[in-house]
């Protein structure tokens, strides 16, 4: 199944002399239970692609779909709802609330949305996160790697159709980064989640099943990563 799909997606910023074509007819599919890395030089359109697919940025042309929902033309209210219910985000800065413990942070988006988490799913996510007795600790009492695990678990908790990550290990040292990336990949395997991760770190991309390369707003390569299994 296809979790998200861009078709001839075009994004233009500015006009006249300031015009920048950030995405130039990009077509790409993100399949369910697949972990995709998006790579490319700075300014190649990686963040723009992610923002357009996640409904954070409007598109100039073409189509962006999450599952079978077309994002172009959705009003702000429906977009907000779609992001909340069907998309998970993992950022470079973990964005955890300092006054809540790990478990409360994991549950927070659903609490805000007034959604009751699927108890069995939540148990599996919490089991996967591997924080054991640290679930009652606040972020300041956790290492950077542990905090990012909490942020990943928070993104997984609502069973989103797709999770977007923007350099999720950019602020971690290499050991903590490897731990989070391994955890993310195993979560995709065990829970069947779909992850799209923007990165310019080849080590991070090494954990992905597939790598999509952008250059100048176009897809220039799209390849399976046969060694994803052997990393760690
Ligand atoms: P990447 O994530 O690969 O570094 P971006 O998607 O951030 O690339 O940017 C792609 C291009 O679009 C760049 O030329 C960038 O300067 C331009 N761009 C991105 N966001 C904006 C914006 N809000 N306004 C104008 N230009 C932008
Ligand atoms: P990254 O490539 O790591 O996403 P950037 O510095 O390219 O970081 O972009 C950071 C933010 O600034 C993004 O939200 C992007 O949309 C915006 N941005 C990038 N380039 C421009 C630009 N030329 N003009 C205005 N905003 C921009």
* Per-residue model confidence as pLDDT tens digits over 130-175: 888 899 999 999 999 899 889 989 998 888 889 999 888 888 888 8
Q: Does the pLDDT value for residue 109 go beyond 90? A: no
How many CA within 13 A on the CB side of residue 51? 13
- What is the distance in A from the centroid of ligand 1 to the CA of 149? 28
Q: Which residues on neighbouring strands pair with residue 197, listed in sequence order?
A: 37, 165
CA-wise closest residue to 192 among 224, 217, 222, 161: 161
| Predicted ipTM > 0.95 | no
Distance 133 CA to ligand 2 centre (A): 39
Tell me the pTM: 0.85
Identify whether the C-beta of residue 157 lies closer than 8 Å to the C-beta of residue 110.
yes
Is the separation of the CB atoms in 167 and 38 below 8 Å? no
Specify the 3-state DSSP secondary structure of 137.
coil
CA-CA distance, 86 to 1, in Å (whole number)? 15
Q: What are residue 219's DSSP bridge partners?
A: 214
From the alpha carbon of 40, which atom of ligand 1 is closest? 3
Q: What is the mean pLDDT of the chain?
A: 91
Q: Nearest ligand, CA of residue 39?
A: 1
d(CA 201, CA 65): 27
Q: From atom 5 of ligand 1, which residue's Cα is the shortest distance away? A: 45
Residue 232 has pLDDT above 60, yes or no: no
Per-residue pLDDT reduced to its tens digit, 187-217 = 788 888 899 999 988 889 999 999 999 999 9
Q: Is 32 helix (H, G, I), strand (E, B) or coil?
A: coil
| Cα–Cα distance, 151 to 184 (Å, whole number) | 11
Band (29; pLDDT cuts 50, 70, 90): very high
Would you say the CB of residue 9 lies under 6 angstroms from ligand 1? no
With a 6 Å cutoff on the Cβ, whether 199 touches ligand 1 is: no
Which residue out of 47, 52, 167 has the highest number of ligand 2 atoms within 8 Å of its CB and is therefore the one to mutate?
Answer: 47
- Whose CA is closest to 87, among 205, 187, 170, 196? 196
Q: How far is the CA of 15 from the centre of ligand 1 (A)?
A: 14
| Ligand 1 geometric centre to CA of 134 (Å) | 39
- 42 in Cβ contact with 206 (< 8 Å): no
Q: Is the CB of 14 under 6 A from ligand 1?
A: yes
Tokens (6 digits) for 191:
């829970």
Cβ contacts of 25 within 8 Å, gap of 6 or more = 8, 9, 10, 61, 62, 218
- Cα(153)–Cα(102) distance, integer angstroms: 10
Residue whose CA lies nearest to ligand 2 atom number 1: 47
CA 90 to chain centre: 5
């Amino acid at each position: 199944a296809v979790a998200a799909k861009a078709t001839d997606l075009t994004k233009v910023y500015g006009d006249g002399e300031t015009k920048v074509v950030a995405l130039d007819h990009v077509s790409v599919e993100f399949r369910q239970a697949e972990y995709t890395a998006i790579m490319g030089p700075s300014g190649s359109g990686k963040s723009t692609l992610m923002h357009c697919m996640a409904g954070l940025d409007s598109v100039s042309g073409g189509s962006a779909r999450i599952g079978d929902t077309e994002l172009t033309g959705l009003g702000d209210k429906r977009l907000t709802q779609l992001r909340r219910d069907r998309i998970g985000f993992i950022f470079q800065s973990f964005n955890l609330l300092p006054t809540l413990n790990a478990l409360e942070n994991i549950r927070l988006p659903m609490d805000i949305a007034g959604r009751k988490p699927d108890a069995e799913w939540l148990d599996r996510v919490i089991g996967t996160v591997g924080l054991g007795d640290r679930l009652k600790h606040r972020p300041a009492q956790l290492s950077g790697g542990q905090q990012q695990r909490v942020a990943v678990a928070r993104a997984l908790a609502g069973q989103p159709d797709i999770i977007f990550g923007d350099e999720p290990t950019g602020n971690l040292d290499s050991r903590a980064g490897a731990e989070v990336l391994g955890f993310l990949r195993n979560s995709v395997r065990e829970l069947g989640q779909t992850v799209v991760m923007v990165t310019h770190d080849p080590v991070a991309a090494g954990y992905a099943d597939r790598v999509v390369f952008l250059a100048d707003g176009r897809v220039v390569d799209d390849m399976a990563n046969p060694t994803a299994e052997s990393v760690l």
